Structure 1
Amino acid sequence: MYAVIKTGGKQYKVAAGEKIKVEQIAADVGQEIVIEQVLAVGNGADLQIGAPWVAGASVKATVVAHGRHDKVRIFKMRRRKHYQKHGGHRQNYTELQIASVNV
């Protein structure tokens, strides 16, 4: 059984036992969270789609860790104008262990 959830403005396809990295969630490591924004639930060929959410569906997950992704390098340049600008960005994430998908 799998589910499509929405968190942090993005959509993720999850199943029980998987680990995923999502946008940072304000929760402590080891805390169990419940995600109720479930867009779709599938089981083999059977697919249940919500409008916008599937009624009564939820996903239970445990917070494994918090961290930061690799640095994304930003480089701006205008040729022949002696203009160069360097920058970088590291996005925070929360790693979740999916415990169960409930319908």
Structure 2
Amino acid sequence: MYAIVEIAGHQYKVEKDQQVFVNRLDAEEGKKVKFDRVLLVDKGGDVTVGAPAIDGMAVHAVVERHLKGDKVLVFKKKRRKGYQKLNGFRASLTEIKITDIKKAAAKKAAPKKDAEAAPAKEAAAKKPAAKKPAAKKPAAKKPAAKKPAAKKPAAKKAAPKKTEE
């Protein structure tokens, strides 16, 4: 049995008792975590696909440890310019161990707040809004007719050059 689950924005194919390295999670070592965004479950050939996630399915895991990944070197260069830049990067990872893939416990419906909503409606009914006489708006002025743009005067012709003879 395996499942495809979305953890911290990435999708992983997981099985029971499998150890997975994922992006850093905000959970202490030894704590249990639950992932409800299960996209696909395969139970021995019986495949269930969610749209986009399967309602009621969850993957349970235990946080084993937090660590840093292998160093990735980023090298930048512009040829013939003498520009070289070397940066290193180590991703923060969390190692988790998948403990179970099963249906999540049914969520209890939140208690309805009808009791609080009813007194609020009564209070609103007691205070009728005071009506103010509507102020009359002055008549809108008609926009002035647009005049065509003034034409530029014709350029003056230069007098012919006088040549010495």
TM-score by length of 1: 0.97
- List aligned pairs for 1:81-92, cutoff 5 A: 81-92=81-92
Q: Which has the higher contact order (CA 8 A, sep 6+)?
A: 1
Q: Spell out, residue by residue over 1:57-94, the C-alpha distance to the aligned partner (whole angstroms, 9 max, x if none).
A: 00110000000001100111111110001101110011
Q: Which structure dedicates a bigger proportion of its chain to strand? A: 1
Q: Which has the larger radius of gyration?
A: 2
Counterpart of 1:74 in structure 2 is 74
Partner of 2:21: 21
How many residues are aligned here? 103
Report the counterpart of residue 7 of structure 2 in structure 1: 7
Question: Where do residues 39-54 of structure 1 align in structure 2 (5 Å cutoff)?
Answer: 39-54=39-54
Post-superposition offset of 1:55: 1.1
The CA distance in 2 between the partners of 1:31 and 1:13, in whole Å, is 21
Is it true that 1:101 corresponds to 2:101 in the alignment?
A: yes
DSSP-derived class of the 2:74 partner: strand
Identity of aligned residues (%): 39
- Normalised TM-score (structure 2): 0.61
| CA distance, structure 2, for counterparts of residue 15 and residue 83 of structure 1 | 48
Q: How far does residue 97 in structure 1 lie from its aligned partner after superposition?
A: 0.5
Gaps of 5+ in 1: none
| Distance in 2 separating the partners of 1:9 and 1:75 | 27
RMSD of the TM alignment (CA)? 0.7
In structure 2, how many angstroms separate the alpha carbons of the residues matched to 1:12 and 1:35? 11
Larger helix fraction of residues: 2
